Amino acid sequence: MSATPSPIASDLRPMLGWSIAMAILLTLAGLFAIIIPIVSGIAITLLVGWFFIMGGILHFLFAWKTHSTGGVLWEILLGILYIFSGVYLLIHPLAGLATLTLLVAAYFLVKGILQIIHYFQLQPRHGSFWLLFDGIVSLILAIIIWRSWPFSSVWVIGTLVGISLLFTGFSRLMLTLTARRALYA
């Protein structure tokens, strides 16, 4: 006996195909970002710059909806800061990349310290060791980035985003293939 696909499976077939295609594209984008991290790092810096400019415009628009003088002034100042930061990132992407790299190092430093503190708060509980492990790895990453900064700017952002894209694409592919097997089982 041959199994005929259910109507639900027939409706989902095109979506599964698109999901597989997206997973492959994400995986390839991740590999590209890891292989050429400076290009992906600059692209991310430019993208962040455009997001800052859009955020600044939104702050200006929100200023017109604010009913207090202090609120209007605050929104206008934030709008100026966002737009200035965005334009700076667009005009000076390498300096912006260095700044973003320094922010990533600071993030890992703070995250590592907080994870270690959390470990000591939960220490007698089963599995709390993983918080300590995560905290130590985060501190090591912060130190590696900080000690090699600004030279680490060339690889940190692009490599980390590339790793994230690679794992996102791979996990999406595995999830889609599992769903496909379940639908046609």
Q: What is the pLDDT of residues 100-152, one digit of tens each?
A: 888 888 988 998 899 899 888 878 777 777 888 888 888 988 898 888 888 87
Instruction: Report the candidate in 174, 154, 143, 141 with the shortest Cα–Cα distance to residue 97.
Output: 154
Q: What is the pLDDT of residue 138?
A: 84
Reported pTM: 0.69
Name residue 105's amino acid: A
Question: In the chain, what is the straight-line distance between the N-terminal and C-terminal CA atoms, in Å?
Answer: 13
Taking 90 as the threshold, does the pLDDT of residue 84 lie above it? yes
Residue 100 contacts residue 157 (beta carbons within 8 Å)? yes
| Coarse DSSP helix, strand, coil percentages of the chain, rounded to the nearest 5 percent | 85, 0, 15
Unique residue bearing structure tokens 């600071």: 106
Instruction: Report the candidate in 143, 101, 95, 136 with the shortest Cα–Cα distance to residue 119.
Output: 136
Q: What is the pLDDT of residue 6?
A: 58
